[in-house]
Structure 1
Amino acid sequence: MTTINDQTSPVFEPPAAKAAPARAHAAHSIFHERWWLEIATQGNWKLAVVKQNDEIVGEMPYTISRARLWRVSHLPPLTRTLGPVIRPVTGSAGRQMHHRLDVTARLIDQLPECDSFFQVLDPRIDDALAFALHGFTVSARYTFRIDPRSTPDAVWARLGSKTRNVIRSASRELTVVPGLTPNEFLAFYDANLAARSRTNAYGDAVMRQLVNAFVERKAGMLLGAYGPGGTLVAAIGLVWDHQAMYYLLSSRAQDAHCGSISLLLWTAIGRALERRLTFDFDGFSSPSTFSFLSGFGATLTQRLGVERLGTVYLLTRTLKRRFAPARVFAPNL
């Protein structure tokens, strides 16, 4: 296990201006934080809130924006999951379920009318019954996660042989350094996009602000892998909250060692275990990414998606997909 000498503890700050979070429920993640949402949406977000006796028992953030002709409410850039945060109650399983259904229904009633609403729920939310009962389509997405109670030796033993080999090989040629500055990371990220003739899918301004914010707030870090001569060849961005560390961003030079990202991820897993955090690989959107991440031996974990479409939007999307080239693997899993 590569050791990183960094004693910085995670920070998980509560939203202050919009409303206080229903913090007792574990599904409140870094992506629900007020500062994260303010940056990711450029201030264009709202919070559905349910109170009982002047106490917040449920909340759900959402955005509203225009996509050509459509009014949509989707996940903001670099925001992997959202969904309801509900303060739990004690009592029988039936009472708890009734409470979740009731509070979620009251949150749903506050969501805006739009042509397309879509969110992926935090993986700790294991049912979306309330959404299904209110006309939403519920679908399954997936991520890989490593349990915080795991030991480094146990995690290493579960790695695929190919993954172990490329990590060993990369560790002989590369040096992992924590504390890469946002400017260094962003310049490296931009240079690699330019070398591949690509643009930033998240938006340059939003990504720059978020990277600076999570580093400044000690809610994330940037790791770099350096080759001979001290040249930066690969880098990843990590963020965390009270329960999980998320693999958020990565970039590598075209001539980087094939195991450079694997080595950085192995280092990140070690940091998560030291902090007793779940390590979340944050989903995959292609067969190649699935194959790469599955080599780390993590547990495949379901994330539920909830979607509600207007009639005209649904018809337009159906026709577009009918005449588009067939896909063999659904994106955005």
Structure 2
Amino acid sequence: MTTINDRTLPVFEAPAATPVPVRAAPSIFHERWWLDIATQGDWKLAMVKQNGEVIGEMPYAMQRTRLWRVSHLPPLTRTLGPVIKSVTGSEARQLHHELDVTGKLIEQLPDCDSFFQVLDPRIDDALAFALHGFTVSARYTFRIDWNTTADEAWKRLNSKTRNVIRSASRELTVVPDITPDEFIAFYDANLAARSRTNAYGDAVMRDLVNAFVERKAGMLLGAYGPGGKLVAAVGLVWDHQAMYYLLSSRAQDAHSGSISLLLWTGIGRALERKLTFDFDGFSSPSTFSFLNGFGAKLTQRLGVERHGTVYLLMRTLKRKFVPGRVFAPNL
């Protein structure tokens, strides 16, 4: 049993279940309904068939800006990449199969000024992309394996993270399954308080939140302070193998451990379901430091990108003449 503030919490145990080993089964971000909402219908599917059976798929979004035709990850879509039906046999046979199918998928991708995707973390190489002229780079996320016990996960937290979770648990009440309307209103209010706009798009985020809750493919957790005031909230989504930390928001005066407490609650829910908990990447040193406190395993995710000469030149000029701005590969 795990204790916080001398309160005994249940260990999140479920009957033993071993996930079926697959090289790259579809994630929630590959789901048709997810892509329909995230791209507002503007996506396509490269497909390879053999004897009438689909043996490879790769979805991609398309967007036209004033200057460019680009294919990047849609809003709130963390990873994509090819999904390939496995074959039996030697490692050499498997590699040949993966290179062949992935190559045929790549050949179906459109000509555009900029292409960028982050691959599902279960895809451990991007050789086929490299052989087709793509740049391959490493990105990272933190993951807690599905077969970790709650006690083990608690012990792996660093002392600072454990302390802020303990402190937050004394002051806040975690409520599962708050409504999408409450979550979105809270998220919007916190953006307004900071004079910011929704980077994902108001309509896309609202529709995705409603969809994953309605489909029971995600949940919204809220932390309430004195007087029943919502002070922090997170959105978690899952597929058959992992639960992902997707969204979060907190009031400016919220307890400093409010998000940590909600994430710890989410970790427990994931382990109870025998799902890997994926912190879903980080984009800054401060976020790395925060997530690193949870003692999860640093896991590589591969990025693949290919850009036209003029696009690359313009991006280089922006980097040179707009000091202080960070340009990610998907800009």
TM-score, scaled to structure 1:
0.91
Task: State the 1:178 CA deviation.
Answer: 0.4
Which one of the candidate residues 255, 280, 301 is aligned to 2:299? 301
Task: State the 1:228 CA deviation.
Answer: 1.0
Q: 2:66 maps to which residue?
A: 68
- Across the aligned residues of Structure 1 and Structure 2, the Cα RMSD in angstroms comes to 2.0
Counterpart contact for 1:3–1:270, Cα < 8 Å? no
SS in 1 for 2:232: strand
Which one of the candidate residues 156, 159, 167 is aligned to 1:158? 156
Counterpart contact for 2:26–2:83, Cα < 8 Å? yes
Where structure 2 has 5 or more consecutive residues not aligned to the other structure, the ranges are: 3-8, 15-20
Q: 1:137 maps to which residue?
A: 135
How many Å separate the matches in 2 of 1:318 and 1:124?
32
Q: Which shows bigger deviation, 316-325 or 191-200?
A: 316-325
Counterpart contact for 1:78–1:248, Cα < 8 Å? yes
Task: State the 1:311 CA deviation.
Answer: 1.1
Q: 1:54 maps to which residue?
A: 52
Per-residue deviation, residues 205-240 of structure 1 (Å, max 9, x unmatched):
000000000000000000000011111000000000
How many Å separate the matches in 2 of 1:53 and 1:127?
27
Which one of the candidate residues 82, 85, 99 is aligned to 1:84? 82
Number of equivalenced pairs? 316
Structure 2 vs 1, CA of residues 4 and 209 (structure 1 numbering), >3 Å: closer, same or farther?
farther
Where structure 1 has 5 or more consecutive residues not aligned to the other structure, the ranges are: 8-22
Which one of the candidate residues 119, 122, 133 is aligned to 1:121? 119
Per-residue deviation, residues 18-75 of structure 1 (Å, max 9, x unmatched):
xxxxx96543100000000000000000000000000000000001111220000000
Task: State the 1:99 CA deviation.
Answer: 0.3
Counterpart contact for 2:28–2:34, Cα < 8 Å? yes
SS in 1 for 2:281: coil
SS in 1 for 2:87: coil
SS in 2 for 1:113: coil
Structure 2 vs 1, CA of residues 201 and 327 (structure 1 numbering), >3 Å: closer, same or farther?
closer
Q: 1:167 maps to which residue?
A: 165
Q: 2:246 maps to which residue?
A: 248
Counterpart contact for 1:287–1:329, Cα < 8 Å? no
Write the mapping of 1:1-333 to structure 2, written as runs, cut at 5 A.
25-325=23-323
- Which structure 1 residue ranges, 4+ long, deviate > 3 Å from structure 2? 1-5, 23-27, 326-332
TM-score, scaled to structure 2:
0.92
The amino acid that maps onto 2:37 is I
Task: State the 1:323 CA deviation.
Answer: 2.8
